[in-house]
A and B are shown apart, each in its own frame.
Chain A
Amino acid sequence: AQTVTQSQPEMSVQEAETVTLSCTYDTSESDYYLFWYKQPPSRQMILVIRQEAYKQQNATENRFSVNFQKAAKSFSLKISDSQLGDAAMYFCAYRSASRISNFGNEKLTFGTGTRLTIIP
């Protein structure tokens, strides 16, 4: 079974600075997807960014980018120019992309989350 580990329960960053959240995962599969979700105090789960394992290029969405190291099974999230609205819990998640079967591959496995605080 796949596991996702977020080793930083809490992080803080000064407003306008850059912060990196860590995520590692364990899998024997070669084809999969990785996601970062944001959960603000409203508790809504919001997709921040996604990465396909077969792509070597790191995904980028505005101020959010990832550092995907497939061999090391590492998937960190970098937030540039941090803003007060970035304060939230951030969850890393894994989804298999296996095409052997149509079933059993659609579930997301989440890490335990990192609480990010933005210091004004």
Chain B
Amino acid sequence: DAGVIQSPRHEVTEMGQEVTLRCKPISGHDYLFWYRQTMMRGLELLIYFNNNVPIDDSGMPEDRFSAKMPNASFSTLKIQPSEPRDSAVYFCASSSVLKATYYGYTFGSGTRLTVV
């Protein structure tokens, strides 16, 4: 099992540019989460999906953020246009209804986004 795979690991972009973060969850997991980590706010849940359907997007900061999950093996988080305050580490995590009870969630290695 390759774990949750995120790309890119680092992203530096200029303010106003579009940024797309990618995530491949663990095969067989039916939940996918996007979290953001900053020094000021800690770990925040942005959005999560169940069976590719968005369940709760109340954590998405504003309309500049959007997330999709076109199939069970791929999700994207897009920021358009990006701003310096979006600089953070973005984590993707996946779980299954059964496994979450015993193993918690499996996180990817995160994408460190820097907007200059």
Q: Which residues of A contact B (CB under 8 A)?
A: 33, 35, 37, 42-45, 47, 50, 52, 91, 93, 95, 97, 102-104, 106-113
Contact = CB atoms under 8 A, between A and B. Distances in A.
7 contacts: A43-B110, A44-B107, A47-B105, A97-B101, A106-B48, A108-B104, A111-B42
A71 B31 CA distance: 31
A102 B101 CA distance: 13
Nearest to B105: A108
Contacts of B101: 33, 52, 97
Interface of B: 31, 33, 42-43, 45, 48, 50, 55-56, 89, 91, 93, 95, 97, 100-105, 107, 109-110, 112
**Main SS at interface, chain A:** loop
Given A42-B109, A102-B97, A107-B48, A47 B103 contact: yes
Contact of A106 (B50, B109, B110, B112): B50
Contacts of B89: 43
Contacts of B109: 42-44
Q: Pick the 6 closest A-B CB pairs, nearest first.
A: A45-B107, A110-B43, A47-B104, A112-B42, A35-B104, A106-B31
A104 B55 contact: yes
